[in-house]
Amino acid sequence: MNPEIESSKPGSLKEIQAAEAKLLIQTYERNPLLLVSGQGVHLRDEQGNEYLDLLSGIGVCALGYQHPVLTSALQQQSQGLLHTSNLFYHRGTSELALRLTEITGLDRVFFCNTGTEAWEAALKLARAHARRLRSQGRKIGTGILAMEDSFHGRTIGSLATTHKLKYREPFEPVMPGVSFVPFNNVAALRAAFSSEICAIAIEVIQGEGGIHPVSRQFLAAARELCDSTGALLLLDEIQSGMGRTGRWCAYQHYGVQPDVTTLAKPLAGGVPIGAMLCTEEASLAFTPGMHGTTFGGNPLACSLAIAVIDEIKRSRLLDHVASLGEYFLGRLRGLQTSFSCIRAVRGMGLMIGVELESESLARQILQGMMERRIILNRTHETVLRFLPPYILSRQDVDHVLDALSELLATHGNSSTEKTAVMDGEKIHG
């Protein structure tokens, strides 16, 4: 069919790039790196080069690569079933649900396959919950308040609550009824809230938006407003949850309990899974047949997620993430005092952002890190994002800091005159 691809067997990076350029719908800008294996916190390319991975597949591979508990769970599950459909029982769903309800403080779980799907389920639950309240004579509408600079995924519903115009505009009209509120602006939240609203949607730490934690006052205000009408507080923990910040969920740092939370990325250590959790009361809005999925909660994903949770507990990884995160943030703040091109250092645990003064500097630093075989990425144009595996060590952090300070010394002060405003977008200060 395609002689050029037939004759150049995929193998080398160049061949694969050429094949993908012809065969894949072009939705991604990939790094020119062909990955073949990994061990611990290191990835290996096809030439045998090793990279220190500070991104873990966008916060997914929390236990790193070839972790023995994951390998063993995979082996064990290969003797059992990969899939049953939700028409039958298997042992994994309730075992995982028990663990998830214990660690989140919520009552019930709906399993799905991705973060976006978990968020979509949360939005549907909010609408159905409000409908149930209306049927009981309560006054509550269908509107949803989402945050500026939010990211909740790419389905038409999730996208409607995702702020970035570039993601939303080509697909409009998206789901109606969503208004955006400036993140952490309590007065604006209070002004936008009314009995028309059925849910307030918040990422406890905005990830794609540049690693911005919600403020205590804002989260408390959101909780109070929801309580005043019966609206649901939806907290998206897809990036910040499952131990990333040193607690199982980032909201546990605030002492605020949501009605609904969503988990995904690191939940099964690298296999697709999503989970929407909610209170007993909110769960009553879904009755059999109202929502579902073919793959959600399949035996493979459940057994891996159980292995991830049990290993985080067994190896006390929450404590490790918390203390290593403190150390990492402390060292980055130290760096900030020597380099004025660092505008801000933000984060919790091992979810860390370093905001630089310009997009071009951020690109240069990433390029330099890649040359030093250190993988991280950039979010919100100017923010270096660190989402390393939880098993990262202090020596790894020191190595990263050495590389970063060298690169900032080379590129940092030379680029101070460059512009900090890109694409007319708001830059956080």
Dihedral pair phi/psi, residue 194, rounded to 5°:
-160, -175
- Between residues 115 and 230, which has the closer beta carbon with respect to ligand PLP? 115
Q: How far is the CB of 274 from ligand PLP (least distance, A)?
A: 7
203 or 259: CB nearest ligand PLP: 203
| 57, 64, 92, 115: which one binds ligand PLP (CB under 6 A) | 115
239 versus 358: smaller Cβ distance to ligand PLP: 239
Q: Select from 56, 93, 116, 382 the one that contacts ligand PLP (CB under 6 A).
A: 116
Taking the complex as a whole, how short is the minimal distance between the CB of residue 164 and ligand PLP, in angstroms? 12
**What is the nearest approach in angstroms of ligand PLP to the Cβ of residue 58?**
7
Q: Smallest distance from the beta carbon of 152 to ligand PLP, in angstroms?
A: 5
- The answer to whether the beta carbons of residues 76 and 303 sit under 8 Å apart is yes
Supply the minimum distance, in Å, between the C-beta of residue 59 and ligand PLP: 7
Instruction: Please say which residue, 261 or 303, places its beta carbon nearer to ligand PLP.
Output: 261
| Closest separation in Å from C-beta 167 to ligand PLP | 11
Residue from 196, 151, 163 nearest 177 by CA:
196
State the minimum distance, in angstroms, from the CB of residue 279 to ligand PLP: 20
Identity of the residue, 267 or 369, whose beta carbon is nearer to ligand PLP in the bound complex? 267
Question: Do residues 232 and 226 make contact, with C-beta atoms less than 8 angstroms apart?
Answer: yes
Comparing every residue's Cβ against ligand PLP, the nearest one is 115
Is-contact 72 63, C-beta < 8 A? no
Q: For ligand PLP, give the closer residue by CB, 294 or 410.
A: 294
Other CB atoms within 10 A of residue 167 CB:
15
Rounded Cα distance, 6 and 268, in Å: 36
Segment interacting with ligand PLP (CB under 6 A) among 48-56, 149-157, 166-174, 354-362: 149-157
State which residue, 114 or 229, has the beta carbon closest to ligand PLP: 114
Residues with Cβ within 8 Å of 105's Cβ and at least 6 positions away in sequence, in order, are 252, 257
| Candidates 49-57, 110-118, 127-135, 379-387; binding stretch for ligand PLP (CB under 6 A) | 110-118
Nearest-approach distance from CB 347 to ligand PLP, in angstroms: 14
Stretch that binds ligand PLP, among 115-123, 297-305, 332-340, 412-420 (CB under 6 A): 115-123
Residue of the chain from 207, 230, 270, 349 that contacts ligand PLP (CB under 6 A): 207
119 near ligand PLP (CB under 6 A): yes
Segment 380 to 409, residues that bind ligand PLP, using CB under 6 A: none
Name 233's bridge partners: 200
d(C-alpha 336, C-alpha 359), whole Å: 17
Task: Considering only the stretches 138-146, 148-156, 277-285, 406-414, report the one whose residues sit in contact with ligand PLP under the rule CB under 6 A.
Answer: 148-156
In whole angstroms, give the CA distance from residue 257 to residue 82: 34
Residues in 150-169 that interact with ligand PLP by CB under 6 A: 151-153
Listed ranges 130-138, 146-154, 307-315, 346-354: which one lies at the site for ligand PLP (CB under 6 A): 146-154
Beta-bridged to residue 354, according to DSSP, are: 345, 384
Site string for ligand PLP, 186-205 (x = CB under 6 A): -----------------x--
Residue type, 270: G
Q: Per CB under 6 A, which of residues 226..265 are in contact with ligand PLP?
A: 236, 238-239, 264-265
- Nearest residue (CB) to ligand PLP, 115 versus 270: 115
Distance CA 344, CA 354 (A): 6
Q: Which long-range contacts (CB under 8 A, 24 or more apart) does 21-24 make?
A: none
CB of 266 to ligand PLP, least distance (A): 11
**Residue 104 or 239 having the CB closest to ligand PLP:** 239
The residues pairing with 37 across neighbouring beta strands, listed in sequence order, are 44
State the residues that interact with ligand PLP by CB under 6 A: 114-116, 119, 151-153, 203, 207, 236, 238-239, 264-265
